Structure 1
């Protein structure tokens, strides 16, 4: 099994691309979903966020007020780094467990869907390739303003808080341009999928794993036979 990174800018359409891959029966590990899970009440990240940011970023029922927290971190680099230092280790731990489960299920490859793929350097060295979902800058701004009901200034602050799309595109192995129709985007996804699915890169991990497992089972069988014979 090999790992593929999927990223993009805020409101470029990464979730849409992820859904198209899911429709092709590709295993997706979504960092945003995991990020929501690790800040649930009672968890380590939840407790540390309350310690660092106070009760003001929580709803009355104790759940995290993501909009309130977002308004803080997207306008304060130091606060953003503080939050990332709390959540990223928990997210990476959960992602590692999900990757292991996908490997056990026999997937050829798994897509790691993360908005901060390039910013979180620790994962890059494990990826076979990366996919960046991009769109025209004006369209990105318009989509974000409409989706989150933000002013132009607030939307721009969120866009600028991320690595520029031009840098992400330069780092990508594949670029999916999402400025056109959904059908055009889906066609690009299928093209990338065919290239990934035809790759033999998964054998580099699967064959050694099978050899190790076979040797383990073989050794265990010999040991059991020996015990039975001498019991």
Structure 2
């Protein structure tokens, strides 16, 4: 089994790469999905968030009020660090469970761990992946995508980008950098070439 970490800043095009790899047959383990699972009602994660940030981040139905939490942590490095200390270990444990399931199902599987916050989440643990793939796009282009395509305000977009690792930090852990400043077809061609490389390992 190969485990490939796929990361990139918000609006870099990482999801496009992940979908293409899935089309080729990769097993996708989505850290964002796991992050939602580990803070569902009744979980240790949600209880810890309530204890740290208060009842104001809990919706009327008992679920996590993500906009309320985001308003607190994006722009407050200490609050974001506290949130990450709660969620990152839980997400990593869930991810390793999925890796083990994939290997049990197919020892030759190529597993792609789709993880936006790879650099941030690995600060307290070493990286152990067969390849680290970083999807990259210029900051101005990512801002445009967030504002025009996702309807985010410029202020919110700037805060989201600033809360993540920068390009240099991601490149420092990368084995492969996929540039996504050109058109979608150019990116997909790079992903196809990457898949062929991975299959040969």
SS at the partner of 1:3?
A: strand
Work out the number of aligned pairs and report it: 199
CA distance in 2, matches of 1:41, 1:119: 25
Bigger radius of gyration among the two? 1
Aligned counterpart, 2:167:
165
Preserved CA contact (<8 Å) 2:4 2:110: yes
CA distance in 2, matches of 1:54, 1:125: 33
Aligned counterpart, 2:190:
188
CA distance in 1, matches of 2:183, 2:114: 22
Give unpaired runs (5+ residues) of structure 2.
Answer: none
Deviations 1:22-80 (A, max 9, x none): 11110111100100111110011011111111111122112111122112111111111
Deviations 1:139-181 (A, max 9, x none): 1011122344332222111101111123313431111112222
Aligned counterpart, 2:112:
111
CA distance in 2, matches of 1:40, 1:177: 35
Preserved CA contact (<8 Å) 1:134 1:169: no
Alignment of 1:46-195 (within 5 A): 46-106=46-106, 107-121=108-122, 124-195=126-197
SS at the partner of 2:120?
A: coil
Provide closer, same or farther for how the CA distance between residues 147 and 47 of structure 1 changes in structure 2, counting only shifts above 3 A: farther
- TM-score (normalised: structure 1): 0.81
Structure having the larger proportion of residues in helix = 1
190-199 vs 53-62, which moves further: 53-62
Deviations 1:101-145 (A, max 9, x none): 011112332111111112222564311111001112111011122
Alignment of 1:188-207 (within 5 A): 188-199=190-201
SS at the partner of 1:125?
A: coil
**Structural RMSD (CA):** 1.5
Provide closer, same or farther for how the CA distance between residues 26 and 117 of structure 1 changes in structure 2, counting only shifts above 3 A: same
CA distance in 2, matches of 1:162, 1:179: 19
Provide closer, same or farther for how the CA distance between residues 195 and 124 of structure 1 changes in structure 2, counting only shifts above 3 A: farther
CA distance in 1, matches of 2:39, 2:147: 26
Preserved CA contact (<8 Å) 2:102 2:109: no
